[in-house]
Structures are given as C-alpha cells and as structure tokens.
C-alpha cells in the first residue's frame, strides 16, 4: 500500500505541478469566512441572517481559534462541527495549536500526530506528500483545503500568490510592484496604501520575507 501511495504521489507531482506548488490548499467544500460572500455564508448550515450580519461586521478572522471564539456563544459544539465542513479559516501548518487542527472535521488524535510529525513544513507539496501516505486522494484534497504554508513574497509565483483567499489580479500586481521586500514591515507599509490595517494583517498571514 505504501509503495502504491509513493508511486501515486510521484505521478501527481508530474501531472499537477501547480496544485502541488500552491501554498494555500484549494477549496473543495469550504469557504474562508473572511472573504466569503454573504450568500455563501447564508448557505452554511445553522447560519442565520443575524449570525451572518454579525460575522461580516467582525471579520477578518486571523486564526481559526478566533473564528471559533466568535461562533461559540452562537452555535452549539455540534453545530460548529457541522459548520466547519463548509466554512473555516485556513490554518498555518507551522503556527497552529493542537486545538485548531482538531477543529478540522474528521481529524482525530491519530491524524493530529501525522500533521505534527512532519513539521516544520517547507511547502504545501511536503504536506501533500507526507499525508498521502495515510489517506486516499479524495481525503487528501479535503484535508489540504484547511491548511497552508507561508510563501516567500519575493519569490512566490503568480499561481502561488493567487491561492491566497480573496487575492485577485489587482492586488497581485501590488504585491509584485514592491519586490524585493527587505522586511515584512515594508510589506505592511506598501500594501497598507491599498487596503486597511485589518486586511493587511489578513494578507500578511500567508507571506513572509526570507
């Protein structure tokens, strides 16, 4: 079984280099609450119109734990677990608590150990390769959508940068305009010309200067 998984991973690496190169997992069933439309949020089971209004006013959420704290007074634990199959704040594989990992639906203590075993992650391709040893392709794609690895803002490809939730062609141009960044403070300053401080903080979650 392990041999077949290794072969499958090698085939995928050749056949789908952009997917493997991406640093933020491709959404399959979830949306990021910080950038989702009101219609997308309203479609989440258990989300009332009042909850959606409050959520939009409170965002962006910089961690899944922060989003969980927002929902906890409003939804039961069971309702939250259901909601997290549809809406979730992507978690940084190298800066995450056990509690946040366990919020991913279907992740228990065994998979928590596998997530932790291979840290620090150098890229999402490493997560793909290692977790592929334990689950099939459909489950791997489901798990990947919940996670990301920070990318170097100076060297990341357009394809990698566009995996950042809510990042479109216009902001991609602004990211690239100021290269090379010498420090993350410069990123904050330059991108702060175009968006407010909360949005700068949200975007900064996904990048670093190496």
Same domain, 8 and 107: yes
* Residue range 97-153, pLDDT digits in tens: 999 999 999 999 999 999 999 999 999 999 999 999 999 999 999 999 999 999 999
| pTM attached to this predicted model | 0.88
Whether 30 maps to a domain, the answer reads no
Other CB atoms within a 10 A radius of the CB of residue 6 amount to 13
Q: How confident is the model at residue 64 (pLDDT cuts 50, 70, 90)?
A: very high
Domain limits for position 129: 2-25+90-148
Is a pLDDT exceeding 90 seen at residue 88? Answer: yes
pLDDT score of 22 = 73
Domain total of the chain: 3
Do 76 and 170 belong together in one domain? no
Q: Do residue 101 and residue 117 come from a single domain?
A: yes
Residue 185 is assigned to a structural domain of this protein? yes
Among the three residues 148, 171, 193, which one is the final residue of a domain in this structure?
148
pLDDT in tens, 174-202: 999 999 999 999 999 999 999 999 999 99
Are 113 and 160 members of one domain?
Answer: no
pLDDT of residue 60: 98
Say what the pLDDT of residue 10 is: 39
Q: What is the pLDDT of residues 143-160, one digit of tens each?
A: 999 999 999 999 999 999
Is residue 32 a part of any domain in this protein? no
Same domain, 184 and 203: yes
pLDDT in the model for residue 2: 43
Share of the chain above pLDDT 70, in %: 90
């Amino acid at each position: 079984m392990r041999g077949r998984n290794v072969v499958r991973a090698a085939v995928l690496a050749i056949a789908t280099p952009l997917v493997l190169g991406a640093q933020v997992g491709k959404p399959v069933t979830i949306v990021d609450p910080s950038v989702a439309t009101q219609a997308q949020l309203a479609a989440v089971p258990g989300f009332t119109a009042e909850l959606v209004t409050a959520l939009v006013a409170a965002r962006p959420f910089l961690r899944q734990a922060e989003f969980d704290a927002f929902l906890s007074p409003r939804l039961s634990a069971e309702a939250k677990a259901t909601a997290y199959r549809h809406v979730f704040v992507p978690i940084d594989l190298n800066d995450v608590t056990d509690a946040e990992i366990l919020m991913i639906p279907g992740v228990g203590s065994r998979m928590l150990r596998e997530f932790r075993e291979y840290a620090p992650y150098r890229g999402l391709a490493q997560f793909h390769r290692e977790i592929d040893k334990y689950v099939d392709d459909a489950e791997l794609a489901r798990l990947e959508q919940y996670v990301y690895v920070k990318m170097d803002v100076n060297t990341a490809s357009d394809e990698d940068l566009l995996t950042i939730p809510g990042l479109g062609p216009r902001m991609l141009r602004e990211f690239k305009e100021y290269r090379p960044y010498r420090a993350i403070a410069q990123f904050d300053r330059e991108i702060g010309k175009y968006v407010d401080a909360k949005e700068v903080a949200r975007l900064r979650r996904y990048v670093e200067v190496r």
